[in-house]
Each structure stands twice: as C-alpha cells, then as structure tokens.
Amino acid sequence: MKEITLTFLMLLILLTYSCKEKVDFDKERSAIISVIEAETKAFFDRDINQLGSYHVQDESNIRLTATQSGYTYDVGWEKVKTFFIDYIENVMEPGLYYEVKKNYKIKIYDKSAWAAYDNFYYTGDDELLSTSIHTQILEKVNGEWKIVFYTSIYNSTWEEELLKEKESGTDNL
C-alpha cells in the first residue's frame, strides 16, 4: 500500500510540474522591448495618454532618475504622470530629440520581468547629448507587460558643459 501511495504521490507531483506552462523567453523578451520602445516613442510624440498606457497606473509605480546635478524620485502614477506632463510642456521641444537603446539584458519571471540597457540621447542633428543606463521592472497586467519601476543613471555631455561654465564663471545660472 505504501508503494502505491508513494507512486501515486510522485506521479501527481510530476504531472503538476510538467503541466505548468513554460515561459516563451524569446516571445516575452520581444514583447518587453516593444513596450519599452513604444513608451519612449509616446514620450517623444508628447502623447501622455499613450505613454500612460504602458505603465501600471497605481501607487506602486516609481520613477527614479540620477544625473550629475541630482536626482528625481516620484512614487505613484499620478506623480510620475505629473513629471511627464511638466517635462513635455515645459522642457522638451517636439521632434528635436530621439533615443537609441542597446545591449538589453532581460530577466523574465511568470508575472514580472526586469530589463536593463544602455541608452543614448541625441538631438535631431545626431549630436549625442547624454548616455545613461536604464533599468525597468515590468509586471504582466491582463496579459500585457506594463512598466512599474523606471530608473536611469545619466552621464550627460551637456551637464559636463554646464559644470565647466559654472566653474569658469561664464554660466548664466
């Protein structure tokens, strides 16, 4: 009787784990990169509604950016959204900038993933303004990947110029 029970238990465990759906890494990786690239496109298109569609829109959403001049830290979708609106309306000029993302490193779990990559920020004239390393955590919501955490660490060429101007006393700050 013990042997039958043990055999049945082993068979049950085997069936439970073998029936678990496997993650299609290539498919999910492609979907994650598509979300990151589409969110960036929406940003440069100044389309806050489309940009927001790629984010988890609750209090768990976090945005952290570090530059040579300091950092910004926003918690909750409403604060993250406010940052984007302010930046789009008051800082960026439409159509003059673009980004290139390279060297994606992605780790995928059942309902979440993280992606890290190198980011290059250019003017419309192909002048490199900054380089940065980005990391994003994504969650699967209703079958779609959504950004829940974003961080970037910048090494900006324009910030270096501002620091040089400030040190030489020729800045307009």
Check which CATH number belongs to the domain holding 98 and give it. Answer: 3.10.450.50
CA–CA dist 122, 118 (Å, integer): 13
- Tell whether 106 is covered by a domain: yes
- Tell whether 14 is covered by a domain: no
What is each CA distance from 97 to 7, 9, 41, 110, 130, in whole angstroms?
A: 64, 61, 11, 35, 11
What does the pLDDT read at residue 168?
Answer: 73
- Tell whether 61 is covered by a domain: yes
The residue ranking higher by pLDDT, 69 or 101, is: 101
What does the pLDDT read at residue 4?
Answer: 62
Q: Quote the mean pLDDT of the chain.
A: 86
- Tell whether 77 is covered by a domain: yes
For 128, residues 6+ apart whose C-beta sits below 8 A from its C-beta are 120, 121, 122, 157
- Tell whether 31 is covered by a domain: yes
**162 three-state secondary structure:** helix
- Tell whether 7 is covered by a domain: no
- Tell whether 85 is covered by a domain: yes
Structure tokens at 97: 């900038």
What does the pLDDT read at residue 104?
Answer: 97
Closest listed residue to residue 117, CA positions, set 98, 131, 97, 96? 131
- Mean pLDDT on 145-159: 85
- Mean pLDDT on 138-162: 85
- Tell whether 64 is covered by a domain: yes
What does the pLDDT read at residue 52?
Answer: 97
Number of domains the chain is built from? 1
Domain extent, residue 38, equals 23-167
Residue 114 has pLDDT above 90, yes or no: yes
Residue 2 class from Cβ within 10 Å (0-12 exposed, 13-18 middle, 19+ buried)?
exposed
CA–CA dist 123, 149 (Å, integer): 26
